[in-house]
Amino acid sequence: MEKLLFGVAYYDEYMPYDRLAEDIRMMKEAGLNVVRIAESTWSTHEPQNGVFDFSSVDRVLDAMHEAGIHVIVGTPTYAIPTWMVKEHPEVLAVTPRGPGRYGARQIMDITNKTYLFYAERIIRKLLSHVKDHPAIIGYQTDNETKHYDTAGANVQLQFVKYMREQYESLDAINRKFGLDYWSNRINSWEDFPSVVGTINGSLGAEFAKFQRGLVTSFLKWQADLVREYKRDDQFVTQNFDFEWRGYSYGVQPSVDHFAASETFDIAGVDIYHPSQDKLTGIEISFGGDLTRSLKGSNYLVLETQAQAFPDWTPFPGQLRQLAFSHLASGANMVAYWHWHSIHNSFETYWKGLLSHDFLPNPVYKEAMTIGRDFARLSEQLVDLKKESLVAVMVSNEALTAMEWFKLPGGKTYNDVVRWMYDELYKLNAGCDFIPASSDQLDRYKLIVVPALYAVSDETLHRLNDYVSKGGHVVYSFKTGFTNELVQVRPAQQPGIIHEACGVAYSVFVEPSNVGLKEHAFAIAAEEGQVQTWMELLTPTTAEVLASYDHPQWGQYAAITRNRHGAGTATYVGCMTSGAVMRKVFEGALKEAGLWGVEQQAAFPLIVKKGTNRAGRTVRYYFNYSSEAVHYAYPHESGHELLSDRPVDAGGQMELAPWGVHIIVE
Amino acid sequence: MEKLLFGVAYYDEYMPYDRLAEDIRMMKEAGLNVVRIAESTWSTHEPQNGVFDFSSVDRVLDAMHEAGIHVIVGTPTYAIPTWMVKEHPEVLAVTPRGPGRYGARQIMDITNKTYLFYAERIIRKLLSHVKDHPAIIGYQTDNETKHYDTAGANVQLQFVKYMREQYESLDAINRKFGLDYWSNRINSWEDFPSVVGTINGSLGAEFAKFQRGLVTSFLKWQADLVREYKRDDQFVTQNFDFEWRGYSYGVQPSVDHFAASETFDIAGVDIYHPSQDKLTGIEISFGGDLTRSLKGSNYLVLETQAQAFPDWTPFPGQLRQLAFSHLASGANMVAYWHWHSIHNSFETYWKGLLSHDFLPNPVYKEAMTIGRDFARLSEQLVDLKKESLVAVMVSNEALTAMEWFKLPGGKTYNDVVRWMYDELYKLNAGCDFIPASSDQLDRYKLIVVPALYAVSDETLHRLNDYVSKGGHVVYSFKTGFTNELVQVRPAQQPGIIHEACGVAYSVFVEPSNVGLKEHAFAIAAEEGQVQTWMELLTPTTAEVLASYDHPQWGQYAAITRNRHGAGTATYVGCMTSGAVMRKVFEGALKEAGLWGVEQQAAFPLIVKKGTNRAGRTVRYYFNYSSEAVHYAYPHESGHELLSDRPVDAGGQMELAPWGVHIIVE
Amino acid sequence: MEKLLFGVAYYDEYMPYDRLAEDIRMMKEAGLNVVRIAESTWSTHEPQNGVFDFSSVDRVLDAMHEAGIHVIVGTPTYAIPTWMVKEHPEVLAVTPRGPGRYGARQIMDITNKTYLFYAERIIRKLLSHVKDHPAIIGYQTDNETKHYDTAGANVQLQFVKYMREQYESLDAINRKFGLDYWSNRINSWEDFPSVVGTINGSLGAEFAKFQRGLVTSFLKWQADLVREYKRDDQFVTQNFDFEWRGYSYGVQPSVDHFAASETFDIAGVDIYHPSQDKLTGIEISFGGDLTRSLKGSNYLVLETQAQAFPDWTPFPGQLRQLAFSHLASGANMVAYWHWHSIHNSFETYWKGLLSHDFLPNPVYKEAMTIGRDFARLSEQLVDLKKESLVAVMVSNEALTAMEWFKLPGGKTYNDVVRWMYDELYKLNAGCDFIPASSDQLDRYKLIVVPALYAVSDETLHRLNDYVSKGGHVVYSFKTGFTNELVQVRPAQQPGIIHEACGVAYSVFVEPSNVGLKEHAFAIAAEEGQVQTWMELLTPTTAEVLASYDHPQWGQYAAITRNRHGAGTATYVGCMTSGAVMRKVFEGALKEAGLWGVEQQAAFPLIVKKGTNRAGRTVRYYFNYSSEAVHYAYPHESGHELLSDRPVDAGGQMELAPWGVHIIVE
C-alpha cells in the first residue's frame, strides 16, 4: 500500500438532499482519503431488468477524483432488486426454515443460475463502465458473503454429487458417517434424503463444509470476473466478517476464510466490538491477527464503527485509540461504516461518523485529529511488518462439529478460542492464526490449539512431529476427539496426540463444585473453579501442573505438560478461569523462550509491535481503561510519534485514559 | 345516559342447564340493570349457511325485559362458524406467520368479500329480527376488533393501490421511504413486493397504518349497517381495548381509537388490570381517560374483571373500589366479563361474577352492595363531567415506529407513555388524551408529550405555537426525531421543537452507571439513575434542570426548561426514575398554574373529581393500599355519599384499606 | 423370570471395526447375561424395498448363544429407512408444526397403511428368520412408541369417526364439549374442523386421548404379530418411558401405560435420572413402582444409564447402587443403554458402559462387581414380591387437561404428582400406582390422589365409597374439578368428593406472600410458604389441619381432614413445601395404621422391601448421599448379602456413601 488509508463507506444514493460537495469538503477536513461505494445499491444501478444507470457512481467518482479521494467500488450483488424476485422467485434461497421472502439483503441462493446470470451482467456492466476511472484504487466483491443457509432441492442435488465425488461409494459413506444409526443407512443414490432434517452430526457437518465451499467458489467466480477489468494498479478484496454475537466475536462459521481469501489480492474485513466501558481492544486484535494471517500480509479494515449503537458511541479519545489499534495489528486502512447516519429503513441506529444532522459532532471532530496524524505518520506506520512466533490453530470443521455437539451450558468452539486467545492478548503475546491444514508450523515457537475437535490424523501427526522437533504446543480439552468427519476416534483419548502429551482419559464429566489443586503454580481459590467441561486425565509420562480438587475426581489430573523430543506439549483438560489459563501460557511462553519485557506489562496496558518500511521497530502502547497508566519504557531510546518527543530507555511514561503511544526505536 | 348502568356479559348459550330465571333472580338481587349478549355466538345463530335461529336471543330479550334489565346486543361477527371456513377457507387471514387455522376467534381477513357477505347477512338478519324489542338500549359492533395481522396477497394488492393513491409516484415513494437502501428501490408498480418481509421501518410502519385504516373502515361499515335498524333511543358502540401485556397496558397498536370511534355514538372499552396487592388504579384511570377523550364524553366499561384469574381475584373491598374507580374517570357503565364462569373450552379460568357453581360467593356478594349504591346514587354520579387542563398527546404512528426501532432493553412507546402517565396519576393531575393531529391544544394549560417519535412538521409547529402563546409542554426524549413516515429529520435534533425547547443534540447513548446532577430540584442518589436512553443535550437558550453525572458525559444537560414566548417547554432527554419525572411535572404544573391541594395528596391516596348533572363538584378519594389512610378534607364542607354523612371543611378523614369516599360539595 | 438379567443394548451394526468376539469376552467378564438388539436398524436389515439382510442379527445371535448370553430381539419399526420415505413421503407424520422431514427416528404416522404394510413385512420376515434361535428369550415391539403428534388430514378423519362412535350426535358433542363458545359449534358432520387449531380444551384433550388410543392399537397389532411367531418360553414386552424433562420425570403424556401394557407378557421400561450429587433414587423408585403396577408383577429395566451424559457419569459406587435400586423396586432385569459409546451421529455424548475407546474404564469395572453379585444372589433377589398398602392414583386424562389449563408458573400435572410421590418416597412408604378406573381400591389402606382434575363421576363415587368403608385418601387441590371431558362440574367444588372431604370452596387464588397457620402439626415459617395455587376452603364437617396465614384470606382453611364412615379423607387445598406434605402424609399413614419403623428412617436413608421366592423378607437400605449414614437395624436378626455377614436385631449399621445393604430376615 502506498500510504495509510482513512475512509468511510459512502452512499450518495441514500442522501435526503444533494450533499456531495459539502460531504467532500467535510471529508477533506477530516483527512479522509478513501471511500467505498456501490456494494448495496443494485436496484439503483439497474432499475429494471437490463436497464442500467450508473449516474450516482459516475458523479461520486468524478467528484472524489477531483478532491483527491480514492474510491473502492463494490460489486452490488449481495442485495437483489425487487424486479428480479418478481420475475424469478426461485432466486431466493430455500433454507431449513422454509422458502425465502423478499426484503432483506443476503437472501438469495448463491448457486442459482438465474441469480448468477444477473450478477455477472451487472458486474460486467458496472466494471466496463468505470474501469478506466482514475479515482478507483480497488474493487470489493459482493459484501460479507455467506451461503445464507441455502439448502433447497437444487442444493441437495449438488450435495449428493459432491458426496459421490468425495467418497465414491455409499458403503464408504454409510461407514464413515455412521448411517446405520437410527436406520439412516442409504443404500441407493436415489434414496439420498435432504440433509435439512438430518440428526447425524457427521453428515450435517459435511453439508456445512460443502456450503462453505459454495462461498469460496462464488467469491472466486466474482474475483475472476473483476480481474477481467481491473488495472494492474488496482486490487480486488473481500469484506470478510466474523461470528456475530452482536459484535465480531470469533471464527466465522459459514466461510472458510483461509480458502476464500486465496483469490484476493489483499484481505479486507469488518470489525465491530463493544465500546465505552467495555472496550478492551481484544476484538480488534483478534480480527486483525486473523485477517493478517489470511494472506500473511497487511489488510484493510473496510468497516468499523464510528458512533454506531447507543452503547458503542465512543468516549472522548476512544475513536482515536481505535484507529491506531487497527494499525498496530497490521491494518493499512481504517474505514468507518459509514459516513452519515441513514434516515430510513433498518440501520437507522447504526450511526456513522456524522449523525443524521450532518453537523460536525464530537466524534467527527476526533476523526479530524486521526486524519491529520495518519497523513503525517503514514510513511512510518504503513505496511507494518509483524513477525509472530506464536500461532493459534483454528478450524471451521472443529467449529461446526462443536455446534452439533455443544459443550454444557451451550458453550461452543469460539468460547474456547476466545478463552485462550484473550489471555494471549492480555499477555501481549502477539500471534498469527493458522488453519489445521497448515504446513508452516515450523515458523512458530508456540502453537496454541483450542478445542481442535474434528481434525485429520495427518494434522495431529504433524503436531506431534512439531513438538518432537522442538516446538511447543498448548492444547485445550476435546482436541483430537474426532476425525475430520466428526467420527470419534476409537482409541483412548486424546488419541493421536497422546504420543506428545503423555496423558490419557476415557471419562469426562461436567464439573460441579470442582476446583484445582496447584502443582506447578499458585492458584487462588477464586480463580481455581473449573467450569463447563473436565476430562479425567491420567498422565502416562506427563508432569501434572494441576489436578482436580473434588471428593470423587481428586485422583485425576487437570492440566499436564509433557516433554516430547525437543519440545513440550501442554494439555489443559478442563475449562479454567482466565487467570489459570494465563499461568499455563506463562509456563509455555517461558519454555518457548518467548517470555520478555512485554509480558510483564499487564492488561489494560497493551503493547503491540512490528517493523516499518524503514526496518525500524514500532511499538504501540495502549491504555484500555479510564485511569491513567504508568510504565517504564523498557527498550532503547526512541521517539514517540504522536507527541513528537524523544523517549529515553527506561523513561517513565504516563499513558492517558484510552491513550496511545507510538514509539519508534 | 339516563342512569348508571351496572351489568354483565351473559351467555345463555354456554349454560350447562337452563339457568335463565335463576340467573335473572340473582342479577336483580345484585342490582344489575344491563346485560350484553350475542357477540360471540354466530354458529349458534346461524347453525348452517343461510339457516338462522335466534331463539336464544329471543328468550333472553324477553326474560330480561320482563325483569326490567336492559340489553346490549352485539353483532356476532368476530368469531366465525365452522361451516364458513369449510366452504370458504379463504376467509381466514393469511398473516406473516402463514395461512390461518380454524379454532380461535379473530382469525378472519376483515377485507375478504366472502366474509363480509356473510357478516352483512347475519347482521341484517339479527337486527331486523330484534330491532323492535323494547329491552334493547344499544348495539355493539363486533368485539375488540383488530386487523389480526391480515397480510395475504389480496391485502398486499390493496396496499399497493393505497400507496399509489397516497404518494402518486414510485419516485416519491422511493425517496420518502428510503428504498435505495439495500437495493429495495421499486422501479415499476408490478415489482412492488409483499411488505411482509420488509426490513424498511418506514414501509413497515406505513403498512401498519394502512392496516389500522382497515379496522376503521370495517367498523364504520358495521356501524352504518346497524344504523339502518336501530331506533333513535338506542346507541351503537364498540368495545375497544388496549395494548395487552397480560392486562390493559397502553395505547392500542392495531387500532386508531380516535379515528375508529368517530362513527360511534358512545365509546365503549374493556379494562383489565393487576389486582390484589398489585392494584393501583392506574390502568382504570389510563383506560378511562383515553376512552373518555375519544368522544369527549362519558363512556361505557363494557367489560372488566370480576373474579378473573387466580392472581386477580379481588381482596374483600376491591371489587367495590374498582366500580367507583371507573365512575370517577367518567364511566356511565360498569359491566363484568362475565356473569358466570365458563365450564369448557378456553377461558375457564377467566372467572366471572359467579364461579362455576353459580352460588353466591364473596365477590358476588360484594357486587350486591355496588348495585345498591349505584341505584341509590345514580342521579348524583351519572354523566360526571370532567374538565382536564392537562393533556397527554399520543400517537399510533409513534408507537409503530418505535416497534421498528425499539429502545435498548426492548422498551417501546407505551413504556414511555406509562412512565409519564403514571406520575401524572400519582400527582392527581387529571388529564385527557389527544391525538397528534389535535387542533384543540388551546383547551389545555399543560401538554405532556411522550416519545412523539414519528410526527409531522405541522404538529410540531402547532406545539411550538402553543408554547409561544402561553402553553406549557413537557417532552420526553426522542420526540420529533422522525417525520410521519419514520424518516429521521436531517436537521439537528430535536428538530422543529428546538425552537421552543432551546436545546440541541447530535449524539445519544445508552446509559451505564449514569446518574443525574441536581440543578433545579433535589435528587436522591437512588432516584437519580438514568436508564435505557440518554441524549447528550446542549442548551442553546434553555435552563438546565438536571445534567448527567458521569465521567465522560458530565458536560451535557439531561433535563431542560425553556421559556418561549408566553409559555415553557420542558425537555426530558433521558429515562429517569418515577420520582424525578414527578419533580419535573411538579415544576411544569406550577408553571401552568395547576398546582393545587390535590397534588399534595400522594399515592396511594388518589383523588378524582368532576361535576355532576346538578353542577356540583364530586370528589372521589381512593385508598389503593392495605393500610388505612388519613387526610384532611381541604375543600368546602360537603357530603360523603357512601356513608351518607356530612364532611366539614378541613375535617379529618380516615379511608379504609381499598376504600372509597365520594364527597359532593 | 428364571434369574436376574444383567445386560446391555448391543449394536453390532454401529461398530467401527469387528468387535464381536472381544465385546463378548468383555461382557462375560462383566457378568452380563443378556443383550437387546435390532430395534433401531431397519435400513440395515432391509437395505432396499423388499431386499432383506439379517446377517448382523444372525452373527450376533450365534455368537451370543455360544457365549451363553441371552438375546431380546426388537422389531425395527420405530426408525424408518430412507427408501421408504423417498418412495412414500406420506408415511411421515403431519403434525401441528407441519409436514415431517426425514432424519430422526419416530417421525412416521403410525396409522399410515403404507407404513403399516412395510412394518408388518419386516416383522414377519425378521421373526420367521430368527424364531427358532435358542438365544432368544423374548421380543420387544418397536421402541418408546408414541403417536408422534400425528394429526394430518387422515388422522382428523379417523377422529371424526371416533367422535361419532363415542358420542353419536353432534348435539351431544356440542353440549358436552361446550362448542357454542366462540362460535365453535359444529352443526354438520362435514363441517367438523381439524382440531389442530382448536382452542377448546375439552376437544383438544379428547383428541389427545384418541391419539393415545392409536398407540395402544399399534402396540397390540405388533404384539399380536409377534405372538404368531414366538415360542411359549419367550416373552413379548415393550419399552415404555416417561414424561421427559431431560430425564424420566413423571406420567407419560402420550401413552396410556395401563391400557397399552395389557397386550404384553411383561412390562419393560427405560429409566434415566440425574446423577452425581443430584442422585436421589426417586426416579428409579417412581418408574419402578409405576411399571411394576402395570402388570402387578416384576418388570424389565430395558434401558438405564451407564456413563451417559457428562453430568450423569456416576461417582464411584453409584452404578452399583443404581443396579440394586432397580431390583429393590421389583426389576428382574437391569440393562444399560448401551454397551459402547457411539462414534457418529446424534447420541455421541450419551455414553455407554464402554467409552468410545472400548477399554475397561472405572464404570465398566464397577459393572463387573454388579455382574458377580447378581449371579451370586440371583436366587435370593429375583422375583421380589412387593405388597403395597399405599397407592397413588394417576390419570392421563387429568394430565392432558392440566396441559390445557396450566397452574400458575406453567406448573403441570406431573409437578403435583411428583410433589406428593417424592414425600412418600422420603418416608419409605412403598406404593403402587393405580389408574382412575381401578376397581381394586380395596387392596390399599391409603390412596393418594394428586390433582385428579379430569375424572368421571363414577371414579369419585368409588373413592367416596372407599373412604366410607374404612379407606384413607389424601387428595390434592383441583381434584374432581372437571368431568372426564374437562367440563367443570357446575356444583360447588370439590364436587362429588365433598361428601367424603367435608369441605367446600368457590374461589381459588394464586398465593403471594401466603403462609400456613398450624393447627394439627408444627409448621416452621420457612416451610410454611404456599406456592402456585390455593383454594379458599370452608369446612362443612372437616377438621382444619392448617389454614392460610394472610391478611385477606386468613379465614379460610388450607388443609383439612374429614372422618367419613370408617375412613378419612384429607384434602390439601394448596401447594405446600415438601416438609408440610410429609407431615400430612405422616398423619394419614398413622390413620391408616401404616406408620412403622421404616418411616422413622429419613432420606437420604431409603428402605425398600419385598418377599423373595423363598418367602423371606428382603430389605434394601440405600444411602443416597456422599456422607456415611448410621442406623440401628430395627428388625429380627438377618443376613447382609453383599458383605455376607449376619446382622443382629438392633445392630448398629454403617452405610457407606452411595452404599447398599441387602438384609434377608
- Residue to mutate among B163, B176, B179, B183, with most A CBs inside 10 A, is B183
Give the one of C310, C346, C358 whose C-beta lies nearest to A200's C-beta. C346
| Cβ–Cβ gap C405/B349 under 8 Å | yes
- Max Cα-Cα span within chain A: 76
Nearest Cα neighbor of A490 from C352, C21, C58 is C352
Q: Residues 6 or more apart from A387 whose CB is under 8 A from it?
A: A610, A611
| Cβ–Cβ gap A41/B183 under 8 Å | yes
Q: What spatial distance separates the first Cα and last Cα of chain B, rounded to whole Å? A: 23
Closest-CA residue of C relative to B17 is C490
| Cβ–Cβ gap C193/B104 under 8 Å | no
CA distance, residue B198 to nearest chain A CA (Å) = 4
> Would you say residue A183 lies in a domain?
no
Confidence of residue C519 (pLDDT cuts 50, 70, 90): confident
Closest-CA residue of B relative to A345 is B200
What number of other Cβ atoms are within 10 A of residue B161's Cβ? Answer: 11
Cα–Cα distance between A518 and A521 in angstroms, integer?
A: 6
Read off the CATH number of the domain in which A430 is found.
Answer: 3.40.50.880
Last residue of a domain, one of C537, C571, C593: C593
Are A628 and A564 in the same domain?
A: no
Residue B653: enclosing H or E segment and its boundaries? Answer: strand B652-655
Read off the CATH number of the domain in which A629 is found.
Answer: 2.60.40.1180
B527: left (phi over 0), alpha (psi -120 to 50) or beta: alpha
Cα–Cα distance between B264 and B219 in angstroms, integer?
A: 9
**Alpha-helical regions (H) of A491-641:** 498-501, 578-591
Residues from chain C that touch A482, judged by Cβ atoms under 8 A, are: 343
Is residue B347 packed enough to be buried (19+ CB in 10 Å), middle (13-18) or exposed (0-12)?
A: middle
Cα–Cα distance between A594 and A427 in angstroms, integer?
A: 11
Q: How many CB pairs under 8 A join A and C?
A: 153
CA distance, residue A141 to nearest chain C CA (Å) = 36
Predicted confidence (pLDDT) per residue in B479-525, tens digit:
999 999 999 999 999 999 999 999 999 999 999 999 999 888 888 88
- Residue to mutate among B45, B356, B365, with most C CBs inside 10 A, is B356
Average per-residue pLDDT for chain B: 97
Grid cell 381477513 is found at B109
Q: Are C317 and C657 in contact (CB under 8 A)?
A: yes
Q: Is the pLDDT of residue C286 over 80?
A: yes
Cα–Cα distance between A237 and A234 in angstroms, integer?
A: 10
Q: Are C480 and C571 in contact (CB under 8 A)?
A: no
| Cβ–Cβ gap C201/B277 under 8 Å | no
| Cβ–Cβ gap C196/B345 under 8 Å | no
Give the one of A76, A101, A355 whose C-beta lies nearest to B183's C-beta. A76
| Cβ–Cβ gap A193/C358 under 8 Å | no
Are B624 and B589 in the same domain?
A: no
Nearest Cα neighbor of C463 from C441, C495, C481 is C441
Last residue of a domain, one of C563, C593, C623: C593
Are B429 and B317 in the same domain?
A: no
Q: How many CB pairs under 8 A join A and B?
A: 153
> Would you say residue B206 lies in a domain?
no
C-alpha cell at C25: 469376552
| Cβ–Cβ gap C343/A487 under 8 Å | yes
Are B427 and B550 in the same domain?
A: yes
Cα–Cα distance between C274 and C271 in angstroms, integer?
A: 10
Are C507 and C643 in the same domain?
A: no
Residues from chain B that touch A10, judged by Cβ atoms under 8 A, are: none
What is the count of structural domains for chain B? 3
Closest-CA residue of C relative to B77 is C183
Predicted confidence (pLDDT) per residue in C575-609, tens digit:
999 999 999 999 999 999 999 999 988 899 999 99
- Residue to mutate among C101, C279, C346, C625, with most A CBs inside 10 A, is C346
CA distance, residue C293 to nearest chain A CA (Å) = 31
The pLDDT of residue A519 is: 85
C397 is catalytic: no
Read off the CATH number of the domain in which A121 is found.
Answer: 3.20.20.80
> Would you say residue C223 lies in a domain?
no
Q: Are A207 and A159 in contact (CB under 8 A)?
A: yes
Are B437 and B501 in the same domain?
A: yes
The pLDDT of residue C292 is: 98
Q: Are C143 and C270 in contact (CB under 8 A)?
A: no
| Cβ–Cβ gap A490/C362 under 8 Å | no
Average pLDDT over residues B312-328: 98
| Cβ–Cβ gap C40/A181 under 8 Å | yes
Confidence of residue C2 (pLDDT cuts 50, 70, 90): confident
| Cβ–Cβ gap B197/A626 under 8 Å | no
Confidence of residue C1 (pLDDT cuts 50, 70, 90): confident
Phi, psi of B207 (to 5 degrees): -65, -40
Nearest Cα neighbor of A274 from A308, A298, A236, A238 is A308
Are B588 and B607 in the same domain?
A: no
The annotation status of C105 as a binding-site residue, yes or no, is yes
Average pLDDT over residues C621-648: 96
CA distance, residue A358 to nearest chain B CA (Å) = 7
The pLDDT of residue B382 is: 98
Closest-CA residue of A relative to B550 is A315
Are B581 and B620 in the same domain?
A: no
In B298-454, which ranges are E strands?
299-305, 331-337, 390-394, 431-435, 446-449
> Would you say residue C468 lies in a domain?
yes
Closest-CA residue of C relative to A193 is C82
Cα–Cα distance between C362 and C367 in angstroms, integer?
A: 9
The pLDDT of residue B2 is: 87
The pLDDT of residue C518 is: 84
Closest-CA residue of B relative to A42 is B183
| Cβ–Cβ gap C344/A199 under 8 Å | no
- Known binding-site residue numbers of A for substrate: 105, 143, 312
> Would you say residue C60 lies in a domain?
no
- Residue to mutate among C84, C115, C344, with most A CBs inside 10 A, is C344
Q: Which parts of chain A register pLDDT below 50?
A: none
Give the one of B487, B508, B552 whose C-beta lies nearest to A310's C-beta. B508
Q: How many CB pairs under 8 A join B and C?
A: 153
> Would you say residue A265 lies in a domain?
yes
DSSP string over C82-145: HHHHHH-GGGBPPBTTBS--SSSSS-B-TT-HHHHHHHHHHHHHHHHHHTT-TTEEEEE-SSS-
Residues from chain A that touch C356, judged by Cβ atoms under 8 A, are: 488-490, 493
Cα–Cα distance between B209 and B206 in angstroms, integer?
A: 5
Give the one of C43, C101, C313 whose C-beta lies nearest to A183's C-beta. C43
C144 is catalytic: yes
Predicted confidence (pLDDT) per residue in B36-64, tens digit:
999 999 999 999 999 999 999 999 999 99
Cα–Cα distance between A466 and A568 in angstroms, integer?
A: 10
Are B565 and B610 in the same domain?
A: no
Point out the residues of A that are catalytic. Answer: 144, 303
Give the one of C408, C506, C533 whose C-beta lies nearest to B355's C-beta. C506
Last residue of a domain, one of B381, B407, B438: B381
Task: Collapse the DSSP code of A534 into the 3-class scheme (helix H, G, I; strand E, B; otherwise coil) and give the result.
Answer: strand
| Cβ–Cβ gap C345/A187 under 8 Å | no
> Would you say residue C370 lies in a domain?
no
CA angle B436, B440, B442 (to 5 degrees): 115
> Would you say residue B104 lies in a domain?
no
Q: B256: domain range? A: 5-91+120-145+216-381
Task: Collapse the DSSP code of B434 into the 3-class scheme (helix H, G, I; strand E, B; otherwise coil) and give the result.
Answer: strand
The pLDDT of residue C335 is: 98
Give the one of C199, C485, C486 whose C-beta lies nearest to B104's C-beta. C199
CA distance, residue A493 to nearest chain C CA (Å) = 7
Sheet holding C331-337, edge to edge: C235-237, C136-140, C70-74, C34-37, C5-9, C331-337, C299-305, C268-271, C239-240
Are C528 and C606 in the same domain?
A: no
| Cβ–Cβ gap C17/A490 under 8 Å | yes
Q: State if pTM tops 0.80.
A: yes
Are B496 and B570 in the same domain?
A: yes
Q: What is the DSSP-derived secondary structure letter of residue B400?
A: H
Phi, psi of B585 (to 5 degrees): -65, -35
Q: Residues 6 or more apart from C457 whose CB is under 8 A from it?
A: C483, C496
Residues from chain B that touch C199, judged by Cβ atoms under 8 A, are: 103-104, 345-346
Q: Is the pLDDT of residue B1 over 90?
A: no
Q: Please, which chains are in contact with B (at least 3 CB pairs closer than 8 A)?
A: A, C
- Residue to mutate among A95, A191, A553, with most C CBs inside 10 A, is A191
Grid cell 467378564 is found at C29
Are C437 and C569 in the same domain?
A: yes
Which of C39, C206, C303, C640 does the annotation list as catalytic?
C303
